[in-house]
Chains A and B, each alone.
Chain A
Amino acid sequence: MKKFTLMICFSILFSLQIKDVVTGEEIPIRMGYLQSDIHQLACWVAMEKGFYEKNGANAQVAGIFKAGPEEMSAFAAGALDMGYVGEAPATTAVANRVAKATVLAQVNTEGSAIMVKKGSPIQKPADLAGKTIAIPGHSTVQDFLLQKALRKFKVDPKKVSIIVLKPPEMIGALKTDQIDGFIAWEPYPAKAQTMGVGQVLLTSNQIWKNHPCCVLIADDGFRKLRPSHVEGMVKAHVEATDFIHKFPDDAVKIGMKYTGMDEETVRTAMKNVNYTYELSIDGETEYVDFLSRLKYIDVPHAETFVNRFIDPGVLEKVVGK
């Protein structure tokens, strides 16, 4: 009898979590993404083309964020169920036990660039020594890429002055010579180019080929509670990613709508981004090692952490592997 009562209680609790008590309607999936970040194109395509509804996932935008750490704070606060976010801030938040979330699919690889002023004397990575370079934030993918580029091209990181600026402020700062360069996600490098302000010093492809960047993550509690909806979201994401490859012109229009940028900028930006849902375990392991080295996180065994942090199961089921 006790077991039966418990089962009834759990069933009621479960139904309360996915259905509104008063209206009986399904509670929407609270989703977050990064503002004006062309990496998030699959999310915007899925919303515009109705892929979430089609796959049984009632997704509702609960937050649009200026940078990954802000979005991860929203996960920590329990304000988001799923989100598109940079792999580095997601790793930092989970490793520091602030948020409980799991990576389910890749969103893109590459898609950032180190920009310098048009006609700048900085012609090669070695010229970065003694210069001021802006990053969008510590523990972002771009912070990682800049550090990696400096090491790769044998520039002493101590000789580069790094300041934090939000990407929309970077182009203005470059134009007025307040910084010598910046690293940001697309479409800001493309925007600097089309405005005639900046030129590419290094694309992220040249720094680390096929480096993982943004990922689709889910709150662990939500994942356990509503697995079918999580699967629907991943299905929609896969469908949206395929759509970008099949119909790039339509994707450009959606990109223009969500970034508010012109066609030339969006097309230039998209050329620098590789839209894929294939997960990169090795890439994530490298992030963990790097973040540990910088003392941003304290993870004794990178592989154990990565195996827990990335769950390829849902994606494998969806794509039939």
Chain B
Amino acid sequence: MKFDRYILLLILLILWQVLCGLEVIPTHLLPSPFKILLGLKDLVIIGMPPGHLLPNHVLYSLYRVGLGFFAAVLLGIPAGLLLGWSPGLRRITNPLVELVRPIPPLAWIPIAILWFGIGMKSAAFIIFLGAFFPILLNTVSGVLAINPIYFEVAQTLNAKKKDIFFKVLIPGSIPSIFVGMRIGVGIGWMTLVAAEFTGVRTGYGLGYMIMTARDIQRPDEILAGMLVIGLIGYLINGGLKACERRFVKWRA
């Protein structure tokens, strides 16, 4: 019964196809699943805009996300560990974090273009903003959630501050760091598509591809592009979950 969880999805797809076939759903508003698959085929073979093939769009988008996400990991995790470790630092930085955090990454787009120009850097910056705060805050809460008894035991055993940091604090906060990374990459991935809506220098990117399909009025290709985005997000989340299981064996 491995596939029973997909039954509902399958039923919905069949129903959708039948309703489109009977013209209950206008296909110019919502193309049928079969038409979306044909759109996907066109994206792979012809490309959108023609000549710009789907695999390249995927690669460029993954590269942008990778760049922004790793920058967020490199800054967010150490900063989160430090803020979790030091109440004084946490108190000083809290107003700044709480002021900047609610600003939607998309609101930064005009500023990002102004600062970093059109292209890779500005898109990576938007993704960085989307991924940074979930990673930072989850790392902080991961540190704060460590049972104080571990610190007390380490201190009783005359452990140095460096040892407590590396042998208690970091391993103790890893489960929460992974949650932050999963949320961060998800938000980064969502922001990427919007970040690619304007000013893509290379002519590649899934967001750019979807906007071009909109310009050329191909709802089948728009939905096929959305499907690809969903699938990649699903795979990235699955990959991070697998990493989490590997690194946080005691939790599994």
Measuring CB to CB, which residues of chain A are less than 8 angstroms from any residue of chain B?
A: 67, 69-70, 72-73, 76-77, 89, 92-93, 96-99, 132, 137-140, 161-166, 169, 172-173, 176, 178-179, 294-297
Contact = CB atoms under 8 A, between A and B. Distances in A.
Interface in B24-66: 28-29, 46, 49-50
Contacts of B198: 164-166, 169
B113 A169 contact: yes
B199 A69 contact: no
B118 A179 contact: yes
Given A138-B215, A179-B118, A295-B50, 8 more contacts: A67-B215, A73-B217, A76-B28, A98-B217, A169-B198, A178-B118, A294-B49, A296-B50
B215 A89 contact: yes
Contacts of A93: 217
B79 interface: no
A163 B200 contact: yes
Contacts of B217: 69, 72-73, 76, 89, 92-93, 96, 98-99, 139
B233 interface: no
Interface stretch (B100-108, B126-134, B206-214): B206-214
Contact of B215 (A139, A163, A172, A179): A139
A291 to B, nearest CB: 9
A161 B201 contact: yes
B117 interface: yes
Label chain A's interface by main secondary structure.
loop
B46 A295 contact: yes
Contacts of A164: 198-200, 208, 211-212
A138 B49 contact: yes
A178 B112 CA distance: 13
Q: Which 6 A-B pairs have the closest CB atoms?
A: A98-B217, A69-B215, A295-B50, A93-B217, A96-B217, A138-B215
Contacts of B50: 294-296
Contacts of A96: 216-218
5 contacts: A92-B215, A140-B215, A161-B203, A163-B201, A169-B198
A164 B49 CA distance: 11
Interface centre among B29, B118, B201, B203 (most CB of A within 10 A): B118
A137 B211 CA distance: 9
B219 interface: yes
Contacts of B212: 138, 164
Contact of A165 (B49, B199, B214): B199
B7 to A, nearest CB: 33
Nearest to B214: A69
Contacts of A169: 113, 198-199
A129 B104 CA distance: 39
A120 B215 CA distance: 31
Given A163-B199, A163-B201, A165-B199, A98 B214 contact: no
Interface string B165-202: 00000000000000000000000000000000011110
A264 B235 CA distance: 55
Interface string B219-232: 10000000000000
A163 B118 contact: yes
B178 to A, nearest CB: 37
Nearest to B199: A165
A273 to B, nearest CB: 23
A70 B214 CA distance: 8
